Structure 1
Amino acid sequence: MYQSPIRKVQILKYQEGQFSQRTDYLASEEPLEIQLSFGATEQRMQRSLAITMRTPGQDFDLVYGFLFTEGIIHQRSDVIQMRYPGNQLDPEAQENIILVELHPHTNFDFERLNRHFYTSSSCGICGKASLEMVQTHVHFLLDPQNPQVAPPTLLRLPQLLLPQQSLFGQTGGIHAAGLFSATGELLLLREDVGRHNAVDKVLGAAMQKHGFPLRTEILLVSGRAGFELVQKAIMAGVSVMAAVGAPSSLATELAEAHNLTLIGFLRNGGFNVYTGKERILGT
């Protein structure tokens, strides 16, 4: 059963002193349960890993990106297949579950993952522990001199992203993540009601199409740059990350520690360079 990323609703609008009935469009938000099938061929286990709230669409991209940035898979071949197993109790929810068949040689400690699982900066893990946890999953070293990016190229990125944000254009309530070349060509765009999901979707699509690391690409996010988004960028080998909004202090510390160029407030003809200024031409 197809789940639309947009829902049509009837609202009462107040404007210029009068009420009127209007049709409005909202970004859909549905739960997605990620289940894993893993272990040796003769000892397969199936467990529920996580439930995330997302906008339906590009679900497999989301799961690929999520599994990679959580350190569960390292390459596309670690996944044999993904599928919707269905839900006999609730047919309308059959696309809210994805079963991931991991390769028998994919090794990870599920119980340890369960105990230490985290997805946001509000999880309660202290900054030092968070930084150390990311360190254990980083596989790519970044070249502090490459890519070289010109300021006019950076200034164009939000202008190139916004017209392609079809769901945002219809609802006004959705996040976007875009992957650009160092010369400003839009390579991939994904949207979702969750910031983390938008980044996971675009990285998951890149993993399937190009593979990692993404050393010559620029990642742009439509909101702020929190710790968890910077973490995902670093794990994918991204060298330059830009945000329309502000970075957090822990995000800046993480970017500095891994030689990531972190740019914030990319809007209205300007931007701030918080770390990695060596990659920005003219600095």
Structure 2
Amino acid sequence: MTRITARRKIIRVKLGESSVMRDDVLAVEEPLEMRVNGRSLAVTMRTPGHDFDLAAGFLVSEGIITTGEHFFTARYCAGATAEGVNTYNVLDVTLAPGVAAPDPSLERSFLTTSSCGLCGKASIDAVRTKSAFSVDEDPLVVDAGLLSTFPDKLREAQAVFEKTGGLHAAALFDGTTGEMLVAREDVGRHNAVDKVIGWAVKENLLPLTGTVLMVSSRASFELAQKAMMAGIPVLAAVSAPSSLAAEFATEVGMTLVGFMRGSSMVLYAGDKRIAQDALQPVD
């Protein structure tokens, strides 16, 4: 049985008042070793849960698979304690017959942390990954008023964040109807996105044309690249994007929206996809 939260004794201090000892709830962070066809590919720090989605999304992000048919089977293996209890921290994915195994150059030479999914890349050249899908010609146009509702919808879906205050989240929305298709949480923002994309892989929905990826964090280059690899035309974030994320979005024809607060937002790339009548000016 995997745990996504853990209880811990803490001391709450407030100046001028007596300290209080109480129980607190923390988000669990544990390593997951991902193997492909029995060969170790990467280790990431993640919040347990939806691990098969995480692995499938990771393989899309790395350009290894592009459809659910490529993801043949997945099973937990090894990772047992001395008492023989499975830790569920080692996952082996079997690719479908005919699907090429990952190039050895993709193997991460060290741990992928919960804050950085690119940290284990062997070279700078390996950071940019070629996608099987193009987002440039996606005809989606999103009403700004509809888009402005996505952060609150995402927040409402963050059940574990409500208890711990310590998780990132990502959700996939239909850009026309505003329907939330799936939401996932994780200590790593890149893991949350991989879990969302992995769900779509298993549902055979790639490429994710006409969708919006909403994230609770800043929009990094890595998240923009993951969206592009899944064919997502719009990436929206509660916080700021990085300069490289904005440059990358412009380069590939993706729409990038940041600082989504109430009725205001900032468009950094691909403003053609946002119907701006409902936008409030941002200083």
TM-score normalized by structure 2?
Answer: 0.88
**2:104 — aligned with what?**
111
* Alpha-carbon distance between aligned partners in 2 of 1:100 and 1:142, rounded to the nearest angstrom: 28
1:237 correspondence with 2:231 = yes
Q: Is the 8 A contact 1:144 1:278 kept in 2?
A: no
* Alpha-carbon distance between aligned partners in 1 of 2:80 and 2:180, rounded to the nearest angstrom: 41
* Alpha-carbon distance between aligned partners in 2 of 1:109 and 1:98, rounded to the nearest angstrom: 16
Q: Is the 8 A contact 2:220 2:241 kept in 1?
A: yes
1:151 correspondence with 2:149 = no
* Alpha-carbon distance between aligned partners in 1 of 2:89 and 2:109, rounded to the nearest angstrom: 24
* Alpha-carbon distance between aligned partners in 2 of 1:227 and 1:218, rounded to the nearest angstrom: 16
CA RMSD for the aligned pairs? 2.2
**1:189 — aligned with what?**
183
Letter in 2 for 1:172: G
Q: Is the 8 A contact 1:145 1:278 kept in 2?
A: no
**2:6 — aligned with what?**
7
* Alpha-carbon distance between aligned partners in 1 of 2:4 and 2:146, rounded to the nearest angstrom: 31
**1:40 — aligned with what?**
none
* Alpha-carbon distance between aligned partners in 2 of 1:74 and 1:124, rounded to the nearest angstrom: 23
Q: How many residues are aligned here?
A: 269
Q: Is the 8 A contact 2:169 2:184 kept in 1?
A: yes
- Structure 2 unpaired stretches of 5+: 278-283
1:261 correspondence with 2:255 = yes
Cα–Cα, structure 1 residues 144 and 77, in superposed 2: closer, same or farther, change >3 Å? closer
Q: Aligned to 1:120, which of 101, 115, 118?
A: 118
Letter in 1 for 2:89: N
Of all paired residues, the percent bearing the same amino acid is 42
Cα deviation code 1:75-122 (max 9, x no counterpart): 111122100123345434530000111123111453232379983279
* Alpha-carbon distance between aligned partners in 2 of 1:139 and 1:281, rounded to the nearest angstrom: 28
Q: Displacement of 1:269 after TM fit?
A: 2.5
Q: Is the 8 A contact 2:68 2:204 kept in 1?
A: no
Cα deviation code 1:185-215 (max 9, x no counterpart): 1110000000010000011001112421111
1:27 correspondence with 2:20 = no
Q: Aligned to 1:79, which of 71, 75, 83?
A: 71
Cα–Cα, structure 1 residues 274 and 94, in superposed 2: closer, same or farther, change >3 Å? same
**2:212 — aligned with what?**
218
**2:280 — aligned with what?**
none
